[in-house]
């Protein structure tokens, strides 16, 4: 069986406070977009082995303990009867770019294994299990626009209609260490919550909505800040870095033609509509 995990962008991101457990409370709006990886899972019926074999293609993924393996192991602990499987993960979403591709892969693998083997945990149970994989995973179980709080696991579905717009995704291929960015961030309560700002016309987001990581990341990597400037110069009604970067997106009117002079090694993708 095959699924197609999609990416997300953050429409604004505020880091509110550091918690006693070392994590940070935040608020953001997750918005799903149709840039997709591919995950295929095949049951290995004629084998004496136990566990999962993972094949990988597309963008290179560092490390051996992939989140898809973690998803399988998480279910295996709860449902020991799950047979051995072979999984193929094809990465089309840039890795480590703030688009949540890894979290999407883990969440979709969790849902597909649940469907394949009739495990039938509720959506709420799957969300709780997803939170064990990563803070963004519960969002991909819902996979609709959500206002998010806590570490990103507290989710509230909201209406965000961007059907009149297209999205330009630009990834300059710079790896940003999210942990390092959190160490440098200075939390603050914003004057206006994203819950209110997201209800304003998109044309007003530029002056009201922000991503707290941008100041730090742009200072370290000015070329990422330049991407945002170029998107605005090209006519974006709103542009922002997603997550802790390094991907930057611009929201444009569908009727507007766009051309850019980014370096040839940049990943650039035009998308229309939200993933469902």
Active centre residues (catalytic) = 8, 136
Residues 36 and 83: their CA atoms lie apart, in Å, by 27
Candidates 122, 98, 95, 92; CA nearest to 110 is 122
Residues 225 and 207: their CA atoms lie apart, in Å, by 16
Q: What stretch of H or E contains 15?
A: strand 6-18
Residue 248, φ and ψ in degrees, nearest 5? -120, 140
Candidates 272, 269, 224; CA nearest to 252 is 272
Residues 66 and 256: their CA atoms lie apart, in Å, by 40
């Amino acid at each position: 069986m095959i699924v197609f995990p999609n990416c997300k962008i953050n429409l604004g991101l505020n880091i509110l406070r550091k918690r006693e457990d070392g994590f940070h409370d935040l608020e953001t709006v997750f918005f799903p977009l149709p840039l997709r990886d591919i995950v295929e899972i095949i049951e290995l019926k004629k084998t004496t082995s136990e566990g999962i074999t993972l094949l990988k293609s597309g963008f290179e993924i560092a490390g051996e303990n992939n989140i898809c393996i973690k998803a399988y192991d998480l279910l295996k602990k709860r449902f020991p009867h799950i047979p051995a499987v072979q999984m193929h993960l094809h990465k089309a979403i840039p890795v480590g770019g703030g688009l949540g591709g890894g979290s999407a892969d883990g969440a979709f693998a969790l849902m597909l294994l649940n469907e394949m083997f009739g495990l039938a945990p509720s959506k709420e149970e799957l969300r709780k299990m997803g939170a064990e994989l990563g803070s963004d995973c519960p969002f991909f179980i819902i996979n609709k626009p959500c206002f998010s709080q806590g570490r990103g696991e507290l989710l509230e579905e909201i209406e965000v209609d961007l059907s009149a717009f297209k999205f330009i995704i630009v990834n300059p291929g710079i790896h940003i260490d999210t942990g390092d960015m959190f160490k440098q961030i200075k939390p603050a309560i914003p004057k206006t919550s994203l819950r209110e700002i997201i209800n304003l016309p998109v044309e007003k987001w530029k002056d009201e909505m922000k991503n707290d990581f941008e100041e730090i990341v742009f200072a370290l990597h000015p070329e990422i800040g330049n991407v945002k400037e170029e998107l605005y110069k090209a006519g974006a009604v709103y542009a922002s870095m997603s997550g802790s970067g390094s991907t930057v997106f611009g929201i444009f009117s569908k009727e507007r033609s766009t051309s850019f002079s980014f370096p040839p090694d940049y990943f650039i993708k035009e998308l229309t509509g939200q993933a469902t």
